[in-house]
Chains A and B, each alone.
Chain A
Amino acid sequence: MTLSIPNTTGYLTEHCGDDAFATLKGYTARGGYSAARKALRSKPAELLELVERSGLQSRGGMGLPTGAKWRCMPSERDGPSYLVCNAGESEPGSFKDRLLLERAPHKLIEGILIAAKATGAEKTFLYIRGEYFRAARAMERAIEEARSAGYLGKGRLRRRFAHDIVITRGAGAYICSEETALLESLEGKRGEPRNRLPLPGGLHAFGRPTTVNDVETLCHLPHIVEHGVDWFRSFGTEQSPGTTLFGVSGHVVQPGLYELPLGTPLDEIVFEYARGIPHGRRVKGVIPGGLSMAILPAGQLNVPMANESLRERKAMLGAGGLIVMDETTCMVRVACIISGFFRHESCGRCTQCREGAGWLHKLVQRLERGTGTRKDIAILEDVARKMEGQAICGFADSAAWSIQGLLRHFRDDFDAHVRQRQCPFAGSFEL
């Protein structure tokens, strides 16, 4: 499938429908790289302060302030340091970085130059997930163009700041978009999250200080540098400024990508932008931020899509992938698919995650087949609780939360499977 253009555009995706925008000529014709020139004349501290004041939050999942992530870089350095661009996008329901990589590669390069200047990185590793062949090719072409034009490597900007980008490809593991697992994979090791000390410390690639930013976050940077903090803060909410790319999939009339300000209500995205549920059916639930985030039931869809408001409902914005499900959806079947995904993708390192994710999947499979009991539901809840907060990374939490969310809001579906000894939705939702 060719990913063409977003359904609604803002500053991020403007011109993304234009094939020429992916070329250096097309990008510079529309004002591209002027922000990079401006940034390279600035001092790193000025850029850091600018981004901190802008309130830009990372768009990759956790929603951490980008400025705070940059501040983790040590001020004293005795050798090279790196920027890593996380293009490992693998959250089911999330497909926004792919559009930027394929349709706006020079915007990403420009964002990388700005972040590299601000953090003092001398090289960027662009880690692209294995399945993104088209995106990798687009980036290769764009990097080559940027090199020959002197934006990267030796050349035009070199007197002020020499920088280059190295593309590395993942092999398709979900966990490799977790930043420490990504760094392990980047170093050629098995993709597993690293142990984190209980106190915050900086990240390292190849033993050197490293900043990891995701694709969309970096793509906001040229706009912030070009138009300033006040302009950026005119979009979105006080705590979550700017626009973001919402990927809408599932039971909607018009699935696709929507660039909208943060804080846009979920029901507005589903019913106005994505034009509602087809076949006159009613919505049953929406997973707001990709598979890892707890589901929201039909009654809670008036929530503004920003981290501060979603957290109150035990959900998160994540990578902005909305999965919409209508009333014919069996939530036990959904639990099967989600827990199957987490079982398949657990790296297997921590006991809770390796064994727990497998057990969750087996339990919901049993329930979906109609051979489960009330006790199985109780065990399901207990296992999910025991997986929470005990593993190295957040994967086990996600696996637990997704099931807990379904149990919290759709307990009736689970009970009905036990009572009727079969799936009451049989045939309603074929995979």
Chain B
Amino acid sequence: MIRFTVDGREFDAEEGQTILQALDAAGVLMDGVDVPHYCWHPKLSIDGSCRLCQVEVEGFSKLQIACDTPVTDRMVVHTTSDRVSAAREGVMELLLLNHPLDCAICDQAGECKLQDYAFAYGVARSRTREPKRAAKKRVDLGPTIVFDQERCILCRRCVRFCREVPGTGELSVFARGDRSMIDVFPGAELDNPYSMNVADLCPVGALTTRDFRFKARVWNLEDVPSVCSGCSNGCNLYMGVASNRIYRHVPRRNDAVNDTWLCDAGRLSYAEVGAAHRLDQALARDAEGMLVARPYREVIDAAAARLRRVVDVKGPGVVAGVASARGTNEDLFTFKRMLDALGTEGAYVALRRGESDELLVKEEKAPNAAGARALGFAEAEQVVERIRGGAVDALVVVGSELLDPGLLGSVDALADLDTLIVIDTHKSDLELVAHAMLPERHAAEQRGTFTNHSGRVQAIAPGVEPGWEAYEAGAVLAHLASALGLASFEGGYDPVGVSKSMARSVAAFEGIDLSTVGEQGIALRSADGGG
């Protein structure tokens, strides 16, 4: 460990770290120690091209770029001297020479580093009378990204990203000097599972996602910190919310989980929150066998009555519960408690599987498979044969994963059930056979925790409210349990309270609840949750 001084404050650095790397590791970069930069990014190789991060290092006559200058022991750095200010002013003036003044129609406005740094470090007046460089305003680089050549300041983060992170290398700099342009190689498209990260990396509005382009002004968006529910990696993200609608997902940095990246599928997964096929009312089967909308409370009571009858006649052994691995730890803990209180044969969790890659995308397509395992849920494969064999008379199921090809494949095996109670976010074929369907809040609409593939417990927060009466799956189950007359479910459902009682009663979660996980999550106590 070596020590160095920046503007009179002492910091530690590891041997070999550059000034910016050490400030980033100390958590003070642009948050206590301001060294503006464009080309440098904590997760990409050092380019040293924008020249904005120049600082004064005692012992060197020239200014040094902080991104590429290794820290040495007792190095003394100044970031606020007149020379540094003059250099920053110079770089800002040059970058603005050919940058269009189209902030009014630019999606980046409001989160644009060129705007921010021009205000902070630039000069108010332009001295140039020369016409700005004219270039193409709308270049389709691929299916996800649109490129505005005029706005590009050639920091080349996008080029390095494609080469270094997905390893696809579609982008490069073409031509030279002030004619330099970022583009795809001839015949290639910017088309990889992580392509949309280049829009986040782009400090200006040159790279925009086709998805978010012209949809909202970013200053109207509230950034709600949450976790992606697309797979068991649990990438940290912000939901950009306005008027009770999610406009986008952007990655939230977590070096233990997703660095600063998000896969395209996860980024676009917000669409399912506002999908047309959301289950937006409670449904119960009437005397004619038709599934009709009924008040929520009435459906809860009817479902509880059917379930109670089965238990009373055949005992709890013919009742099964199948949870969804997209449920929160709190949902699952409540479900498990209800099944235990009923005395059923076991608790199962249905899990969707799919493609994985080396970077972020995991095979388990749900955010909380590890949490379900840690809470004692068994894989749903084990209950499928019991259902097919007629050993199950009543089924309480959250989600529709049970219908996946690897499990039941269709609703056929469920047609003869005495009682089928479904709790779900979206409509599915379960409608054909369910006796009661209860709407559930989506992960984007609820508080709770997920346990990712490596056993990291991370919090989610509600970004939007459903436009209909809907509760967390845990709450619906608590209502059902209460209507069943099961003890200790009367108090309703409070995710924070449930997470605390889970921390008390499940060893792996000891000390881990919603009040302690913070924004970066905490690892589970044991390896039980390892995926």
Which of A352, A359, A390 is within 8 Å of B128, CB to CB? A359
Distance of A361 Cα from B90 Cα, bound (Å): 17
Whether A348 pairs with B176 at a CB distance below 8 angstroms is yes
**Smallest CB-CB A-B distances: 5 pairs:** A348-B180, A358-B178, A355-B94, A346-B177, A386-B90
Whether B63 pairs with A343 at a CB distance below 8 angstroms is no
Which of A197, A347, A376, A379 is within 8 Å of B70, CB to CB? A197
Whether A173 pairs with B54 at a CB distance below 8 angstroms is no
Q: A198-B69, A343-B178, A348-B180 are in contact. Are A356 and B63 (CB under 8 A)?
A: no
With both chains docked as a complex, state the minimum distance between the C-beta of A416 and any C-beta of chain B, in angstroms: 21
Which of A195, A197, A347, A351 is within 8 Å of B50, CB to CB? A351
Distance of A389 Cα from B69 Cα, bound (Å): 16
Which of B63, B90, B127, B178 is within 8 Å of A354, CB to CB? B178
Chain A residue at smallest Cβ distance from B180: A348
From 172 to 200 in chain B, residues with beta carbon under 8 angstroms from any chain A beta carbon are: 172-173, 175-180
From 184 to 216 in chain A, residues with beta carbon under 8 angstroms from any chain B beta carbon are: 190, 195, 197-198
Q: Which residues of B contact A71 (CB under 8 A)?
A: none
Distance of A235 Cα from B49 Cα, bound (Å): 43
Size of the chain A interface, CB-CB below 8 angstroms: 32
Q: Given A173-B176, A343-B177, A386-B93, output 18 extra A-B contacts at Cβ < 8 Å.
A: A346-B177, A346-B178, A348-B154, A348-B173, A350-B49, A351-B94, A351-B153, A354-B177, A354-B180, A355-B95, A355-B178, A358-B97, A366-B130, A379-B127, A386-B86, A386-B90, A390-B54, A392-B48
With both chains docked as a complex, state the minimum distance between the C-beta of B82 and any C-beta of chain A, in angstroms: 14
Instruction: Check if B46 is an interface residue, CB within 8 A of chain A.
Output: yes
Number of contact residues on B: which range applies?
A: 35 or more
Per-residue A-contact encoding for B71-84, CB less than 8 Å = 1, 0 else: 00000000000000
Q: Which residues of A contact B127 (CB under 8 A)?
A: 379
Q: Which residues of B contact A352 (CB under 8 A)?
A: 51, 90-91, 94
Distance of A349 Cα from B180 Cα, bound (Å): 9
Whether B154 pairs with A354 at a CB distance below 8 angstroms is yes
Distance of A344 Cα from B64 Cα, bound (Å): 27
Q: Which residues of B contact A353 (CB under 8 A)?
A: 177
Per-residue B-contact encoding for A322-366, CB less than 8 Å = 1, 0 else: 000000000000000000000111111111111111110011001
Q: Which residues of B contact A377 (CB under 8 A)?
A: none
From 137 to 181 in chain A, residues with beta carbon under 8 angstroms from any chain B beta carbon are: 173
> Residues of B at under 8 Å CB distance from A?
46-52, 54, 57, 60, 62-64, 68-70, 86-87, 90-91, 93-95, 97-98, 127-130, 153-154, 172-173, 175-180
Q: Which residues of A contact B51 (CB under 8 A)?
A: 350-352, 390-391
Whether A362 pairs with B50 at a CB distance below 8 angstroms is no
Q: Which residues of B contact A346 (CB under 8 A)?
A: 176-178
**What are 11 sample pairs from A and B whose C-beta atoms fall under 8 A apart?**
A195-B46, A195-B47, A195-B48, A197-B69, A344-B177, A347-B177, A351-B50, A352-B51, A358-B178, A390-B51, A390-B62
Distance of A192 Cα from B179 Cα, bound (Å): 15
Q: Which residues of A contact B172 (CB under 8 A)?
A: 190
Please indicate which of the listed interface residues A344, A355, A357, A391 has the most CB atoms of chain B within 10 Å of its own CB: A355
Whether A357 pairs with B90 at a CB distance below 8 angstroms is no
Whether A356 pairs with B49 at a CB distance below 8 angstroms is no
Chain B residue at smallest Cβ distance from A361: B178
> Residues of A at under 8 Å CB distance from B?
173, 190, 195, 197-198, 343-359, 362-363, 366, 376, 379, 386, 389-392
Q: Which residues of A contact B48 (CB under 8 A)?
A: 195, 392
Q: Which residues of A contact B90 (CB under 8 A)?
A: 352, 386, 390
Distance of A346 Cα from B173 Cα, bound (Å): 13
Distance of A356 Cα from B54 Cα, bound (Å): 17
Which of A344, A351, A362, A386 is within 8 Å of B49, CB to CB? A351
Distance of A352 Cα from B62 Cα, bound (Å): 15
Q: Which residues of A contact B87 (CB under 8 A)?
A: 386, 390
Which of B60, B63, B129, B177 is within 8 Å of A358, CB to CB? B177
Q: Which residues of A contact B98 (CB under 8 A)?
A: 355, 358
Q: Which residues of B contact A390 (CB under 8 A)?
A: 51, 54, 62-63, 87, 90
Q: Which residues of A contact B177 (CB under 8 A)?
A: 343-348, 353-354, 357-358
Distance of A48 Cα from B331 Cα, bound (Å): 76
With both chains docked as a complex, state the minimum distance between the C-beta of B132 and any C-beta of chain A, in angstroms: 11
Distance of A198 Cα from B153 Cα, bound (Å): 26
Whether B50 pairs with A357 at a CB distance below 8 angstroms is no
With both chains docked as a complex, state the minimum distance between the C-beta of B465 and any C-beta of chain A, in angstroms: 46
With both chains docked as a complex, state the minimum distance between the C-beta of B183 and any C-beta of chain A, in angstroms: 13
Distance of A345 Cα from B177 Cα, bound (Å): 6
With both chains docked as a complex, state the minimum distance between the C-beta of B182 and any C-beta of chain A, in angstroms: 11
Q: Which residues of B contact A197 (CB under 8 A)?
A: 68-70
Chain B residue at smallest Cβ distance from A375: B127
Whether B64 pairs with A198 at a CB distance below 8 angstroms is yes
Q: Which residues of A contact B153 (CB under 8 A)?
A: 351
Chain A residue at smallest Cβ distance from B127: A379
Distance of A175 Cα from B178 Cα, bound (Å): 15
Which of A347, A355, A391 is within 8 Å of B176, CB to CB? A347
Distance of A359 Cα from B96 Cα, bound (Å): 12
Whether A389 pairs with B178 at a CB distance below 8 angstroms is no
Q: Which residues of B contact A190 (CB under 8 A)?
A: 172-173
Distance of A190 Cα from B180 Cα, bound (Å): 12
Q: Which residues of A contact B69 (CB under 8 A)?
A: 197-198
With both chains docked as a complex, state the minimum distance between the C-beta of A180 and any C-beta of chain B, in angstroms: 12
Chain B residue at smallest Cβ distance from A347: B176
